[in-house]
């Protein structure tokens, strides 16, 4: 069914919302106030033509925008873009009973994303098409750091070597770290091994196992240098890591005893340890080992007691929290079990970094309900042109 309608709002996935026959229809690439022709199927609309454009609309900077599904917001002007992303943080908090505003919006795009996953399929190499499981073939991606300019070429070479796969890239100080994932059980390491020399890779892995390593992939974290384990978490942009680390360091202040929970490879713990001993915990055993090694070889770093522990199933109890401050940086699922223990503790300061606004709001409500006051709510925009946003906030008793 094809109809003409007006877009009345923007959904949390960046899609225009049209009210048709008392139901909402979601239309990618459309903006509030626009009169559009759309094809409707259920609650989905496909933009066919713009009859009247919004004043918010701008020309996308990438020629692939609209077909490639990697970005959703390149057609929005800057004020509208920041307002939309700010609302992504504030709205879930409102529904959780917390009325507050983002105090700062930090553009953390920096030189571009240092991490990306491209898909190798018969139709090409790139990201998934908009609303599709088919890959949109790209020649370049302007939101990536220059070091990843050959990522599409490497992905195509992977397709030729082992067939369909997902290829994850990380740009490090010592070169590219490339991790291949494939469903093909007979995928052979010797088929992809020549790619390491061909593209000058620092490390190449296949389904979690190292194929070749010319040199360890290294990233700097304060005074320390960390050798990245295969598959460990790292912030998408260096600018975001620096912005979040500066926020965490300032919020912790002069606290003498600090715990960094969900610490990963240590972007906060290693910097905090420049001033005081730090306890760090995460379920990622390889990440904990990398953090411990980085601490041992770094100069000007105090003691970091790094422990592998599943904080979802086995959170630190209120009796194991003899700290003045705790830093949390959980994955998208949030830190529900650990936050419940923090709520029962006497810890003065909790600094929370989050990548999911809904689980952040849930966990923030638990802390606020137990007597903490939330302050300095910050939105850190490292996944630019997408509907993802990083969050940081401070909670004090």
DSSP per-residue letters across 311-354: TTTSPPPGGG---SEEEE---TT--HHHHHHHHHS--SEEEEEE
CA distance 181 to 203: 14
CA distance 249 to 348: 15
Is 288:307 a contact under the CB 8 Å cutoff?
Answer: yes
Is 206:197 a contact under the CB 8 Å cutoff?
Answer: no
- Sign of the CA dihedral with 322 first, then 327, 331, and 337 last: positive
CA distance 98 to 92: 9
Report helix, strand or coil for 83. Answer: helix
Q: How many residues does the chain have?
A: 397
Angle of helix 357-369 relative to helix 336-344, nearest 10 degrees, comes to 20
CA distance 390 to 161: 36
Of the candidates 297, 287, 241, the residue with the CA atom closest to the CA atom of residue 267: 241
Q: For the beta carbon of residue 148, count every other beta carbon within 10 angstroms.
A: 22
Which structure tokens are listed for 381? 């925009």
Known catalytic membership, residue 141: no
Which one from 71, 141, 263, 355 is the annotated catalytic residue? 355
Which structure tokens are listed for 152? 């599409």
Residues 6+ apart with CB under 8 A from 213: 202, 203, 204
CA distance 110 to 369: 36
Q: Known catalytic residues?
A: 355
């Amino acid at each position: 069914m094809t109809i003409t309608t007006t877009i009345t709002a923007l959904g949390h996935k960046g899609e225009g919302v049209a009210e048709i026959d008392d139901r909402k229809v979601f239309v990618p690439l459309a903006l509030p106030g626009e009169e559009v022709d759309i094809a409707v199927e259920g609650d989905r609309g496909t933009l066919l033509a713009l009859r009247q454009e919004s004043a918010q609309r701008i020309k996308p900077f990438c020629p692939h925008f609209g077909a490639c599904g990697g970005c959703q917001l390149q057609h929005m002007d800057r004020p509208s873009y920041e307002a939309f992303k700010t609302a992504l943080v504030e709205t879930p908090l409102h529904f959780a009973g917390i009325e507050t505003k983002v105090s700062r919006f930090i553009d953390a795009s920096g030189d571009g994303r240092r991490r990306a996953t491209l898909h190798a399929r018969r139709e090409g190499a790139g990201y998934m098409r908009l609303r599709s499981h088919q890959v949109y073939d790209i020649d370049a991606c302007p939101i990536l750091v220059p070091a990843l300019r050959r990522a599409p070429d490497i992905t195509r070479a992977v397709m030729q070597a082992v067939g369909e796969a997902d290829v994850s890239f990380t740009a490090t100080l010592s070169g590219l770290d490339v991790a291949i994932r494939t469903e093909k059980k007979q995928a052979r390491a010797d088929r992809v091994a020549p790619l390491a020399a061909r593209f000058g890779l620092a490390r190449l892995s296949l389904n979690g196992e190292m194929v070749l390593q010319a040199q360890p992939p290294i990233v700097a974290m304060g005074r320390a240098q960390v050798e990245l384990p295969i598959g460990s978490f790292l912030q998408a942009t260096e600018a975001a890591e620096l912005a979040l680390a500066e926020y965490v360091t300032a919020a912790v202040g002069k606290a003498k005893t600090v715990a960094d929970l969900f610490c990963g490879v240590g972007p906060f713990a290693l910097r905090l340890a420049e001033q005081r001993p730090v306890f760090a915990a995460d379920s990622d055993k390889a990440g904990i080992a990398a953090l411990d090694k980085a601490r041992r070889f770094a100069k000007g770093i105090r003691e970091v007691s790094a422990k592998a522990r599943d904080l979802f199933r086995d959170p630190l109890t209120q009796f194991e929290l003899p700290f003045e401050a705790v830093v949390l940086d959980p994955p998208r699922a949030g830190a529900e079990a650990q936050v419940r223990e923090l709520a029962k503790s006497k810890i003065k300061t909790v600094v929370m970094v989050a990548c999911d606004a809904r689980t952040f709001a849930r966990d923030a409500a638990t802390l606020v309900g137990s007597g903490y006051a939330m302050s300095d709510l910050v939105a850190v925009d490292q996944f630019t042109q997408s509907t993802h946003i990083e969050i940081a906030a401070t909670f004090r008793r």
